[in-house]
Amino acid sequence: MLKETRRTLREKEIWLKRRLGQNQVIDTSVLRKMVEYAELTKNDVVLEIGAGAGNLTAMLADVAGTVIAVERDKKLIDILGENLRGRTNVKIILGDVLRMELPIFNKIVSNLPFSISSEITFKLLGLNFGLAVLMFQKEFAERLVAQPSSENYGRLTVNIYYRAKVELLDEVPPSAFFPPPKVSAAIVRLRPRQPPFAVKDEKLFSNVVRALFQHRNQLVRNALLHSFSEIFPESKMTRAEARTFIDTALPGKLLKARVIELAPEDFGEITNSLTSP
């Protein structure tokens, strides 16, 4: 597949840019795994983001009912059209997935641009679908499934956990791509779900998670006090009043815990305890 991909790109005078995440998967076994992990049938409408030269698109079209292939590079769109000629179940769309309204789909299978993985993931989690198989930079993927107290545990982990079940399935070496990136990648399966714990105010939850992880090694009491104005930007409380409010609102076991040690559910409990002052 590498030879065919390189030849096609050379003939069209297309030079893929690593900085834009234009790394095409050229390892057939990796592509096959991504398709298998998606559990596709002819009833599925699959979204592929960053279809590139169509290596994954063609495999998806073999087993899915419909494939919606989105690509922002006009030159690559032309190659897609040629490589997928005759496949009536593929719809090719020129556009930026972050700025466009997407058609209806129920599954996603994509090799995502590493530089905008977070933005794309959170946009997708705001849509209605059942399953996604996504290629991420390995470090990003590890942050999605990190455990409390670990180096990779952070804001991303908690926010994703609240919205989806995530499985890290396979590590993928740079040699599986053309051009090869400087880092390894990983295949992740993501299933949106109802939140596993109740949050009364999701905006406040987002503020609390963001603010606390700015002080990840501090005690919760101190971290909340340092970020109080960020969590409650409209509050007129003095520092002393804010301290009293925090000490009164939260149980001691949470006040004395370190932010990095909190489970995602703890962030929900903290949020629900902090009614707007």
Do residue 66 and residue 141 come from a single domain? yes
Count of domains observed in the chain: 2
CATH number for the domain that contains residue 234: 1.10.8.100
- Could you tell me if 188 and 264 lie in one domain? no
Q: Stretch 79-103: mean pLDDT, rounded?
A: 93
- State whether 231 and 179 are in the same domain: no
Among 16-30, 79-93, 108-122, 220-234, where is mean pLDDT lowest? Answer: 16-30
CA-wise closest residue to 118 among 154, 85, 75:
154
Residues 164 and 252 in one domain: no
Quick one: 148 exposed, middle or buried, by C-beta within 10 A (0-12, 13-18, 19+)?
middle
Residue-range definition of the domain harbouring residue 244: 202-273
Residues 255 and 153 in one domain: no
Average pLDDT over residues 70-99: 92
Regarding whether 117 and 94 lie in a shared domain, the answer is: yes
Let me know whether 180 and 260 are in one domain.
no
More confident residue, 20 or 149: 149
Kindly report, residue by residue over 12-45, the tens digit of the pLDDT: 444 445 454 568 898 999 999 999 999 999 999 9
- pLDDT computed for residue 39 by the predictor: 97
CA distance 277 to 246: 10
My answer on whether 232 and 167 are in the same domain is: no
**Mean pLDDT for the stretch of residues 62-68:** 98
pLDDT, position 22: 61
Q: Could you give the percent of the chain with pLDDT greater than 90?
A: 81
Nearest alpha-carbon partner for 228 in 274, 182, 186, 192:
274
Residue 197 counted as domain residue: no
pLDDT value for 4 = 57
pTM equals 0.88
Same domain, 183 and 216: no
- Residue 33 shares a structural domain with residue 107: yes
> Band of the pLDDT at 153, cuts 50, 70, 90?
very high
